[in-house]
Structure 1
Amino acid sequence: MSGIGVLREGPLHAAVKDLLARPGDVTEVKYGRYVIDLVRADGELVEVQTGGFSPLGPKLDALLDEHRMRIVHPVPAQRRIIRVDANGEVLSSRRSPLKGEVWDVFDRLVSFPSLLAHPNLTVEVLLCAEDHIRAPEAGRSRSGRRRRDPGERRLTEVVGSEVLASPADCAALLPDALRAEPFTTRELATAVGCRMILAQRIAYCLRGMEVLTDAGKRGRAPLHVIAA
């Protein structure tokens, strides 16, 4: 096992990488000028990405045509917010009302939505239970904004997963309620149960994958229809 890049990874990234490793796999492998998080014994290259996907662009451009690659993206389906002091003593703990779902990955896929049609690329969404470790509340800045400590994400359990290996896998996620008639982005948001901005990104990605096509307008709102 190499130590390349290990010092830069956070606890969530490290925990997911350890969870994914199987006998015969190797971590932190150098491919040219790139370092791969995990190389499977069967040759698949695995990248754990806890944040945005855009930093992976150059690596995918260089390696994807010649190698099978998997992006593993952890989404916090359950989370606790734990406040600790400077010595690491727990000050408070509460369960967050925010619950991530598989749809959250489309917030990341906007970087390269059409690339999921590449036969060598798979995106795996891990639905996780996480602890978010943060410093005490820091009050407000002079502008009145609340100061927020982004803290650390720590994995406690994987509660589910969804593998997206093609545009068809993404199409299969769409609720049945959207299959009979053309729909607006707002109706997509309602059917999926997400914020409007995420629904806009879902629609953008699915159009880039040619899962959705234009179906005119209803008033000023563009209509989408699932491609046959």
Structure 2
Amino acid sequence: MDINTYNESSLHKTLKTLYASENGFQTEVKKDGYIYDILDADGNAIEIQTKNLSKLLPKIKKTIKRGKKITVVHPLAVQKTITLTDTEGKIIAKRKSPKKESIYSLFRELTGLHPVLLDEHFSLEVLLVTITEKRMRTDTDVQSKNGRRRFKKNWLKTDNELQEIIKTVSFSNASDYLKLIPKSILPNFTAKSLAEELRRQKDLPSSASTYAHLVIWVLVRMKLIEHTGLQEKSRLYKINDNFIQPEAYGKFY
């Protein structure tokens, strides 16, 4: 087994197979000191990344420097089912997770990638998916595999499985990102007004509004929006004049 696939989840493996098999591309290709998930015949890359997108930045920059295109595919679980099995693999519990992601969850992953998001060689494909998270009961309370649990629990997460791709959202230019700013709050808005509008969107989970400040943070650093002043002690923003195309924005939903 290749060292790059040893800890690969079913979700990652399924998406990699899907993207590669549809086009007959190579997988797990070594190039310039990196192992790429997928390379096409022209040397353009596709990377499947379920979390920690910022870790890809050196690889992305290297690929761009070679004059090749790179697409990062990132799944977001808008619905998750959790199954718990005993040590023999028998399901002993099954439930729907209350945690739901949305397209705005993406921005927690973009803080480290903002330098390349508008590069002509870079694109991002966000998959809104449903998944099954598999957990296994343990005899005693244990720490998680990544060591991040504050308190030990009597189960371990063993895998994520893809159930369905509901929607694919592509990002390759300024308009794609600015569409996520609701038209109702333009032309001038604050992080607070953005959060309030996201809370009003019935087709978004309540967690979407918590990413308002990150949306602002990323778009400012991409130079897509700019600070224009204060409104009741809150920073006021507007779309950068270089990107004003009102008819194109606020149309994600």
Q: Please indicate, yes or no, whether the TM-score normalized by the shorter chain is above 0.5.
A: yes
Q: Judge conservation of contact 1:4–1:35 (CA < 8 Å) in 2.
A: no
State how many pairs are aligned.
225
CA contact (8 A) 1:24 1:41 kept: no
Take 1:170 and 1:59, find their aligned partners in 2: how far apart are those partners?
A: 22
Q: Which deviates more from structure 2 when the two are superposed, residues 114-123 or residues 91-100?
A: 91-100
2:88 alignment counterpart: 87
Paired-residue identity, %: 26
Amino acid at match of 1:191: E
Q: What is the deviation of 1:4?
A: 5.5
Is 1:81–1:134's contact at 8 Å kept on the other side of the alignment?
yes
* 3-state SS in 2 of match to 1:114: coil
Measure how far apart 1:160 and its partner are: 0.7
1:125 matches 2:114: no
Give the ranges of 4+ consecutive aligned residues of structure 1 lying more than 6 Å apart after TM superposition.
Answer: 137-141
Hey, what does 2:183 align to over in structure 1? 176
Is this contact kept in 2: 1:186–1:196, CA < 8 A? no
- Given the alignment of the two structures, is residue 39 of structure 1 paired with residue 46 of structure 2, yes or no? no
2:166 to 159, 167, 192: 159
- In the alignment, structure 1 segments of 5+ residues that lack a partner are none
Partner Cα distance (1:214, 1:161) in 2: 31
Using structure 1 for the length normalisation, give the TM-score: 0.89
Can you list the C-alpha shifts for 1:31-86, whole angstroms capped at 9, x where unaligned? 12100001124542000001111211211121113210000001001110111111
In 1, Cα distance between equivalents of 2:235 and 2:79: 34
Q: Is the 8 A contact 2:80 2:130 kept in 1?
A: yes
Distance 2:129 2:209 in 1: 24
Q: Provide closer, same or farther for how the CA distance between residues 195 and 24 of structure 1 changes in structure 2, counting only shifts above 3 A.
A: closer
- Give the distance between the partners of 2:173 and 2:156, measured in 1 at CA: 37
- 1:51-200 superposed matches below 5 A: 51-65=51-65, 66-136=67-137, 145=151, 147=153, 149-180=156-187, 182-193=188-199, 194=207, 197-200=210-213
Distance across 2 between alignment mates of 1:190 and 1:41: 47
The answer to whether the 8 Å contact 1:185/1:196 transfers is: no
Distance 2:137 2:2 in 1: 33
Q: Matches of 2:213 and 2:157 in 1, distance apart?
A: 25
**C-alpha displacement at 1:115, in angstroms?**
1.4
5+ residue gaps in structure 2? 144-149, 200-206, 245-253
Q: 8 Å contact 1:134–1:149 — kept in the other structure?
A: yes
1:114, 1:205 within 8 Å by CA — same for their partners in 2? Answer: no
